[in-house]
Chain A
């Protein structure tokens, strides 16, 4: 396998940025990982919204996260013209699960329960997006 195959990098398209999520991607461009937390009920959620999906308060605020997480599940996609890549969900230490890719890791090294940390990956013409690497 090539090094690219081992590390499962893949070209990532530019993310769709909305008025609600622009602060997230602006911070991502500076290497900071933000999540949304509701100051009314205290719960963090993912993906970021202006209204809390749990208590429906609009008192949601951005919070910088260390981006440490645990792999909830994953799947290595072998049927890919740009080489294999891994999609998965991680459970952030703050509670919410989020969809992501795993990079800088060999396919057979991935395991459910593995500790991972965020890394920002460049995209094709857009802001960087959060992917995860072994912690």
Chain B
């Protein structure tokens, strides 16, 4: 098949560093430490540094939240690709294959794959409770940041609240401007028969709703819903054989963002600063080409920061950009989340990523509700934010096109 030949990994990637940790019994080291020491050994073997790594792969033996805890712990500041595929002992060969694919696609240049654990010392088992066996007073071998974060009552509400508070402090963003994001979502949700919240709200409704976590009000928050979703991605050959409008992926990028030791903590921007430019470059389009955008909307502030960081407006001008209905389909310049988004329609199992793809596909097919369908919607963008903007998160951007 032509597609398979075109994207073969053959000759496209090399294994240039390898290191087996000398320990066979580690009573005095954490699992995170063994991951980091192994990484250091492999990088030194290759003659590379941690700053050269732009892709990180780990499986269930890595403590913490997916790849994010280890990326943060190791200070991997240039990672733009992560993969936490978990298939037990074969994970690392799966990772090698995935790393080759990412390199062959030109997405990354240096991939780091790590494994570590301490079964002789009661360390965390993959998928287990993270060590200590749950015994009071026992040492943990879980997420290295846990003892310095989980104790402070952090939730999505107040960690995003901290971002909004700092954004207001630095840029003069107001609660009324944030409210416009919810207002726009509600204008769209009124036409969605499945939307969890179908009522149209005003700026006053939002700013007068109950304060949840300063400065975020109840109506600045997304809905909590059960549910699900799925998408199908095919080769060009299969796409041509199917009797559905063809939605072509033009470009995509991903990036985690971490506190990284705290010296450069800045909660006013998100990983979209790193996913936007490569996605637009790969797609070969500009912001003016984007007719519709699905923007992750766990909270109103998530949308505002993402729009700025993707470059739809200058940094700090997000408040003015979203005001006065600029995100409402048929009214403003950038129709967003025309299904009502996470703020009004659906945020199944507290993860809004797949619904962002789904509404983008509806818009590109011309199958959105007629009241919110963007005319001639040929190019659209979807963006996801996972984890917490206020602690550590991963951003992902995709640009898609309706193929005539």
Q: Which residues of A contact B (CB under 8 A)?
A: 10, 12-22, 25, 43-54, 56, 72-80, 85, 87-89, 91-92, 95-101, 107, 112, 123, 125-126, 129
Can you list 12 A-B contacts (CB < 8 A)? A18-B141, A49-B73, A52-B75, A73-B162, A74-B165, A77-B161, A79-B157, A87-B162, A89-B267, A96-B265, A100-B152, A101-B153
Q: Is the CB of B169 within 8 A of A53?
A: no
Residues in A with CB closer than 8 Å to B260 are 53
Q: Is the CB of A18 within 8 A of B144?
A: yes
CB distance from B129 to the nearest CB of A (A): 11
Q: Is the CB of B153 within 8 A of A85?
A: yes
Q: Which residues of B contact A (CB under 8 A)?
A: 28-30, 32-33, 36-37, 40, 49-50, 72-75, 130, 132, 136-137, 139-155, 157-159, 161-166, 169, 210-216, 259-263, 265, 267, 391
A21 to B132, CA, bound (A): 14
A52 to B40, CA, bound (A): 12
Q: Is the CB of B153 within 8 A of A80?
A: yes
Q: Is the CB of A112 within 8 A of B165?
A: yes
Q: Which residue of chain A has its CB nearest to the CB of B221?
A: A79
Contacts A16-B140, A72-B265 given; indicate if A51 touches B36 (C-beta within 8 A). yes
- For the complex of A and B, the 7 pairs showing the least CB-CB separation, nearest first, are A53-B75, A75-B161, A96-B262, A45-B261, A97-B265, A16-B140, A47-B148
A29 to B74, CA, bound (A): 28
Residues in B with CB closer than 8 Å to A56 are 36, 40, 49-50, 74-75
Residues in A with CB closer than 8 Å to B161 are 75, 77
CB-contact partner of B40 in A18, A22, A51, A95, under 8 A: A51
CB distance from A112 to the nearest CB of B (A): 5
CB-contact partner of A101 in B50, B152, B210, under 8 A: B152
Q: Is the CB of B151 within 8 A of A129?
A: yes
**Other A-B pairs beyond A87-B159, A92-B262, 14, CB < 8 Å:** A15-B151, A18-B142, A19-B33, A22-B139, A43-B261, A51-B33, A51-B74, A73-B162, A73-B267, A75-B157, A77-B153, A77-B155, A101-B152, A107-B214
Residues in B with CB closer than 8 Å to A75 are 157-159, 161-162, 164-165, 213-216
A56 to B155, CA, bound (A): 31
Q: Is the CB of A87 within 8 A of B152?
A: yes
Q: Is the CB of B169 within 8 A of A73?
A: yes
Residues in B with CB closer than 8 Å to A47 are 144-145, 147-149, 262
A51 to B152, CA, bound (A): 25
Q: Is the CB of A123 within 8 A of B263?
A: no
A31 to B213, CA, bound (A): 31
CB distance from A102 to the nearest CB of B (A): 10
A86 to B130, CA, bound (A): 28
A99 to B163, CA, bound (A): 13
A25 to B143, CA, bound (A): 16
Q: Is the CB of B140 within 8 A of A97?
A: no
Residues in B with CB closer than 8 Å to A74 are 162, 165, 214
Q: Is the CB of B28 within 8 A of A19?
A: yes
Q: Is the CB of B157 within 8 A of A73?
A: no
Q: Is the CB of B267 within 8 A of A17?
A: no
CB distance from B121 to the nearest CB of A (A): 9
CB-contact partner of B29 in A19, A25, A91, under 8 A: A19
Residues in B with CB closer than 8 Å to A52 are 75, 261
